[in-house]
Structure 1
Amino acid sequence: MNDVEDDKLLSRKKPTFPVHQKLKDYLKRYNRESNITVSYDDLLRFQGAITVYDKNENDTLWVRCYYPDHEREHIDRDLKHIYDILHSDGRDKSLDFLNVDAVDYCTFGNTKPFRIKIRNVLNDGHTYFYIKKADSSRIYGLELEHLLSPHRINFLVHGDTLIEEHIAGIPGDEFIEDYLESCDHQERTQIAKEFVKFNERCLIRLLGDMRAYNYVIIPTHDFDRVSYAIRAIDFDQQSYEGRLKVYRPQFFKENVPMVMNVADCLKNESIEQYKKEERALIAKRLINTQSRYKALIRCMRSDYLTSTVKLKELKKELMNFTGDVKFKNCRNMGSVLNTALEFVRRNYSNEA
């Protein structure tokens, strides 16, 4: 796991794919659809904005938005209602205790999301959620994360607007720069293990572009140690690119320190064991969510998620990587993903 490429693996810009009716039906069936009253386009009508800086006075590439007084009142009410739907029963009983502290807009990347900061005035605690343009490949990525990873995730869709909960943690690039070197050997070994498993999970479920700023490190303090988990926070590159390396975090230059940490802390036998463990766990989750997973794959098989060139390239690379000739007959990315997951289920379900 010690070979690393630069990040010239990705296409210049991934297009946004519309949410088709079959996927809308799926979202409604599994309570992912919501009749929210404010859209992404509504939030674009801000009157002005100022730059948001971090604690070290660096530009975060987010700007804080301001709205005309005649719009701010109903925008605040609608945003608090969205928070209530996302985190409670949607009956608006707690709205009087909530305040919209900030509406920030990201000027970096493909999705250009809005980040909403909601504060509970009773205890001064706050949390975030995001409003983005709905994109079917991103929705598939979120739902696959919910079904196949160790983590559950909350999101809602209405029309062409996507609402995502905030995933708390230390951004990977910040963790690498500020925290990794100060970890002791036991902690670095545990981080290495988690990176191996995260790398394998992304590959198996074809989630691409896991550069360091697209995942977070989550420390959990136990009575005698600190343990770490790694979670993806960006699902824009689900089953889109043609090169297999895009789906393996180890090949991005931003992750070099994580890859070197794996090489320093783990023997090859341990790396292979952790890969097998992750494949077995995914096989188990696949079996446990068969009905919902099959419904999702039916949607993906009827959807257009990439170009013919990229599809052909990925089929060839996966066939060479796994030796499974079934990839040759895949007609779309949904079929490619299903073939990859079925390969794992067939070969590792007995180890789960």
Structure 2
Amino acid sequence: MLDVAGENKELIRPSRKKPIFPVQDMLRRYLERYGRETALPTSYQDLYRFTYTKPLIDKNGKDTYWETVMYDMHQWDYLRESLVKIYAILKTEGDLSFTEHLDVRRIDFCAFGNSQPFRIRIVNKYNDNYDHYYIKQADASRIYGLELEHLLSPDRITYLTSNNTLVEEHIPGVPGDLFLQQYLENPTTNKIRLAKEFVKFNERCFVRLLGDMRSYNFIVNMTPDIEDVQYRIRAIDFDQQCYEGRKNLYLPQFFKENNKFVALAQKHLDTNSIRQYQAEERTMMTFRLVSSRYRVMELLDAMNNDEISKEEKILQLKTELAEHHNQLAYFKAQTMGQLLKTHLKQTLRKSLLLVPKTQSKFSD
């Protein structure tokens, strides 16, 4: 069964500040090969030249932890044009014929997050419809997280890099903490289906070692389906990909912020059902791994010797995973990339045995 993070358990908390890891040559070549690296008309550092900020308050009068930034007129004119072009590169592969009716409505900055992102609001001047995207510092561990999400999760991710700048699409959905406040007790919420999805999400994070999935770092999507609703939980923060040393930090079930999701699983699912849903998710991850095996291997090759964590965290994680799986193979890993490859083989081993040709390629 899934465990709840309770008061009498050791507090589960990720590192307060994770360093930014530079993009090394091998990862850069991977990004170029698969169309992620491109020239952009402005950079993260250009956005940092704002003159002042004001707090961004939500419609209920609460602080959002974001600040709206202001620029001098010359800088603003340059940024507006450049940011609209970046939106076109992100959405229409650089077709600028659609940009005449687009404008930048607002730029927000968040000093709270590791990547200190800027959020760009693009508006359609004709109908006032708007969209968002983000510009962040290019952090290697975050890029690995985005790419693994694209390859191994049910969802695709659109992002671009340019030297030390990272551009990400906005992932729409209800933040997990707001979902708990506003939707959990709604009479139309199917708590059994929601519990099932949390079990699958928990499994996805653990298999690909994505950490710090507290409720405000993922969103919940609701899709009407025949006579009910289907749920999909999606990660929106990838800073903690293969960084932390504690095994439980890669399992969303152990964060106190997610206790209500865990309680749903404990109430509505028995042990056999949980094991079934875990097996289903691992099987689907194996199918995705098989279909993208060469690209995944290239990504893991780039991770193999990349420094995206600290030595003491690598030692702690491989020790805890070796104990968890009773497998000494984890101790051979010297980097987080090597550790992730070992972990993928261990957690997906049963499903990989069904496709022996692929398994032999992946196990090299």
Note whether the superposition's TM-score is higher than 0.5: yes
- What is aligned with 1:134? 138
- What is aligned with 1:313? 316
Q: Deviations over 1:145-170 (max 9, x none)?
A: 00000000000001111000000000
Alignment length (residue pairs)? 351
Kindly report the root-mean-square deviation, in angstroms, between the aligned alpha carbons of the 2 structures: 1.4
Residues 1:20 and 1:230: Cα distance change in structure 2 (over 3 Å): same
Contact between 1:194 and 1:230, CA under 8 Å: does it hold in 2? Answer: yes
Q: Deviations over 1:58-83 (max 9, x none)?
A: 01011111111111111001100110
Residues 1:213 and 1:351: Cα distance change in structure 2 (over 3 Å): farther
- What is aligned with 1:292? 295
The residue type paired with residue 286 of structure 1 is L
Contact between 2:132 and 2:169, CA under 8 Å: does it hold in 1? Answer: yes
CA shift, 1:53, in A, is 0.9
- What is aligned with 1:213? 216
Contact between 1:212 and 1:254, CA under 8 Å: does it hold in 2? Answer: yes
Q: Deviations over 1:177-215 (max 9, x none)?
A: 111111447x11010000000001000000000000000
4+ runs of 1 displaced by more than 6 Å? none
Q: Which shows bigger deviation, 7-16 or 234-243?
A: 7-16
* Structure 1 position 258 matched with structure 2 position 261: yes
Among candidates 190, 198, 201, match of residue 201 of structure 2: 198
**2 CA distance for matches of 1:323 and 1:147?**
28
Among candidates 238, 241, 245, match of residue 242 of structure 1: 245
**2 CA distance for matches of 1:91 and 1:184?**
42
Q: Deviations over 1:39-61 (max 9, x none)?
A: 11111111122111111100101
* Structure 1 position 48 matched with structure 2 position 21: no
Three-state SS of the structure 2 residue aligned to 1:182 is coil
Which structure 1 residue ranges, 5 or more long, are not aligned? none
The residue type paired with residue 350 of structure 2 is N
CA shift, 1:25, in A, is 0.5
Among candidates 78, 83, 99, match of residue 103 of structure 2: 99
Contact between 2:90 and 2:159, CA under 8 Å: does it hold in 1? Answer: yes
1:59-98, aligned counterparts within 5 Å?
59-98=63-102
Among candidates 124, 128, 141, match of residue 128 of structure 2: 124
* Structure 1 position 342 matched with structure 2 position 345: yes
**2 CA distance for matches of 1:97 and 1:208?**
40
**1 CA distance for matches of 2:188 and 2:68?**
38
Three-state SS of the structure 2 residue aligned to 1:96 is coil
* Structure 1 position 2 matched with structure 2 position 3: yes
* Structure 1 position 281 matched with structure 2 position 284: yes
The residue type paired with residue 3 of structure 1 is V
* Structure 1 position 177 matched with structure 2 position 178: no
Residues 1:345 and 1:262: Cα distance change in structure 2 (over 3 Å): closer
**1 CA distance for matches of 2:319 and 2:58?**
44
Residues 1:293 and 1:309: Cα distance change in structure 2 (over 3 Å): same
Contact between 1:34 and 1:158, CA under 8 Å: does it hold in 2? Answer: yes
**2 CA distance for matches of 1:223 and 1:53?**
38
Identity %: 45
Contact between 1:9 and 1:243, CA under 8 Å: does it hold in 2? Answer: no
Three-state SS of the structure 1 residue aligned to 2:201 is helix
**TM-score normalised to structure 2 length:** 0.93
Which structure 2 residue ranges, 5 or more long, are not aligned? 356-364
